[in-house]
Amino acid sequence: MSSQINLKEIERKAFRSTYQDGLWDLYLGLIVVCMFIFVYRPAEGHSPTNIVLALLGVLLARSLFWAGKKFITLPRMGQVRFRAMRKQKEKTTLAIILGVVVFIQVGMVGLTTLSWLNHEVAAKINGFLKAGDLMLLVVAAIGSLMVGVSMILIAYFSDFPRGYYIAVMMWLAVFLMIYLNQPVYPIIIGGLIILPGLVLFVRFLKEYPLPREEASHE
């Protein structure tokens, strides 16, 4: 009898059930859509308004997520607190994501310092980037790498299988958005994340009607 394995499965099933409402998909999809305001560079130059609008968009997405969880999901699905092991996993995720971001930034700082100290290297890097007009490609690759890897780590440590799909979509959205500077890509890709989320949300509402008042076990 593999009681240990079964108990793990019970815990995993209970944990994954918290993703059934599709709200994470909707939230992350909206963030991708908001990205276009942030990254899009109009011909007349980048405006700080873009940053403010993008932040407001993310704030709105976050508020919708919070309200959805509080007023729609929790009354239907109920509340559960997982054991310390899960909380530890969340901390590990955050630490690793910060580690990856810092690692990439340290790499960039290292390259910059190297180019300051060694003019030959600087000239070579500049020449290489300018020759093939690669600057934008490099920025797009680094930006998408940071977002994509972070999302993959979140999906892995949060036990969120759909997160891998979202990670690939985010990776693609950031890359295309920076490289091609076309707002249509994050909007379409954000839509491709939102769509399954909407389907799950509607299914969730059908499967989990509001329980009767007595179910609160007063």
Partner 1 sequence: MSESTGSPDLSALADLDRLVHEPARLAVMALLYVVESADFTFLMNQTGLTWGNLSAHMSKLEEAGYLKVEKSFKGRRPNTALRLTPLGREAFQEYARRMKQVFQDFPT
Residues that bind partner 1 (CB under 8 A): 1, 3, 6-8, 10-11, 13-14, 17, 74-84, 208, 211-212, 214-218
Residue holding tokens 């009354």? 75
- Indicate the residue among 120 and 213 with the shorter CB distance to partner 1: 213
Q: What is the DSSP string of 52-77?
A: HHHHHHHHHHHHHHHHIIIIIIHHHH
Nearest distance from residue 79's CB to partner 1, in Å? 5
Nearest distance from residue 154's CB to partner 1, in Å? 22
Residues near 163 by beta carbon (within 8 Å), at least 6 away in sequence = 24, 151, 152, 154, 155, 156
Whether residue 181 contacts residue 35, with contact meaning beta carbons closer than 8 Å, is answered with: no
Nearest distance from residue 201's CB to partner 1, in Å? 16
- Indicate the residue among 17 and 182 with the shorter CB distance to partner 1: 17
- Indicate the residue among 110 and 211 with the shorter CB distance to partner 1: 211
Nearest distance from residue 18's CB to partner 1, in Å? 9
- Indicate the residue among 49 and 79 with the shorter CB distance to partner 1: 79
- Indicate the residue among 71 and 103 with the shorter CB distance to partner 1: 71
**The token pair that represents 190 in the structure block:** 């954000």
**The token pair that represents 117 in the structure block:** 């100290």
Residues near 153 by beta carbon (within 8 Å), at least 6 away in sequence = 93, 96, 97, 100
Closest CA to 183 of 191, 170, 193, 173: 173
Residues near 83 by beta carbon (within 8 Å), at least 6 away in sequence = 11
Nearest distance from residue 4's CB to partner 1, in Å? 9
Nearest distance from residue 72's CB to partner 1, in Å? 13
- Indicate the residue among 206 and 217 with the shorter CB distance to partner 1: 217
